[in-house]
Amino acid sequence: YKRQGSNIKEFFKIWESSGLVNIEEKLECHRSIQDICSFADMLYPKESKAKSLNKVKTELDGVFLIKQEDIIDFNNMLHPFVLRWDKRKNTCGLNATNFGDSKALTKERTLIFPTKPMIDFYLDNKTIDSDVSKYYVALTRAKQSICIVVDKFPQRDFLEDYNFREINLKKFVLTNKED
C-alpha cells in the first residue's frame, strides 16, 4: 500500500489487523469553525464527520464564493492567506502558497484559487480524480473563513441542487465598493 495521502488509513488498518497498532479516531477540530469542517468533509463522504470546537465569532465566518474582480479589495480589507494548487495558477498578483506547502499552517482566513476539478466537485458534484488530500489541506488551513475564487456566481440555486446540507455557503459581495 502507498503510505501517504488518502491511502494512509488503509495502511494502518493492515497494521491494526496484525495487532501492531490500535486505531482511535479523533473527530474534534480545534482549528476551523463547523462550516469549514463540514465543507472539507465533503471530500471524504464515507468517513466520519469532524466536529468543530472553535466557538470564536468574527466579522466574516463561513465558506464563501468570491468573484475574481473583488479579490484585490477583499485582500486589502481582510488580508487572507492565499492558496493555489501550484505556481502555474494566476493569483492576480497576490503572493500565494501551494496547497501542499501549507500543511500544518493555521490562518484566520484563506483565499483559495481553485482548480477546475475543485470547482466541478463543489458546484457540479463531479468526482475529483487528482490528489484529494491536497484539497483537504487547503480547505482546512482557515480558522474562520474560506473564500473560493470564481469567475462568476452560479445562476441556479446550487445549495439545494448539490446537497450542501449543513454548509452555509455564501456569496461574498463587497458592499462598500465604489463604482
Q: E strands of 68-168, at which residues?
A: 81-84, 97-98, 107-113, 142-150
Q: Are 118 and 134 in contact (CB under 8 A)?
A: no
Q: Which grid coordinates belong to 58?
A: 468574527
Count Cβ atoms within 10 A of the Cβ of residue 96 and give its class: 0-12 exposed, 13-18 middle, 19 or more buried. buried
Convert 110-139 into a string of H (helix), E (strand) and C (coil).
Answer: EEEECCHHHHHHHHHCCCCCCCHHHHHHHH
For residue 177, what pLDDT is reported?
44
Cα–Cα distance, 91 to 169 (Å, whole number): 22
Which pTM value belongs to this model? 0.81
Cα–Cα distance, 112 to 91 (Å, whole number): 9
Residue type, 96: A
Cα–Cα distance, 83 to 96 (Å, whole number): 5
pLDDT tens, position by position, for the chain (179 residues)?
456 666 777 888 899 999 999 988 899 999 999 999 998 998 888 889 999 999 999 988 888 888 888 888 889 989 999 999 999 999 999 999 999 999 999 999 999 999 988 888 877 767 777 778 889 999 999 999 998 888 876 655 554 443 333 334 455 555 544 44
| Four-residue CA torsion sign, 73, 78, 81, 84 | negative
Q: Which grid coordinates belong to 120?
A: 466541478
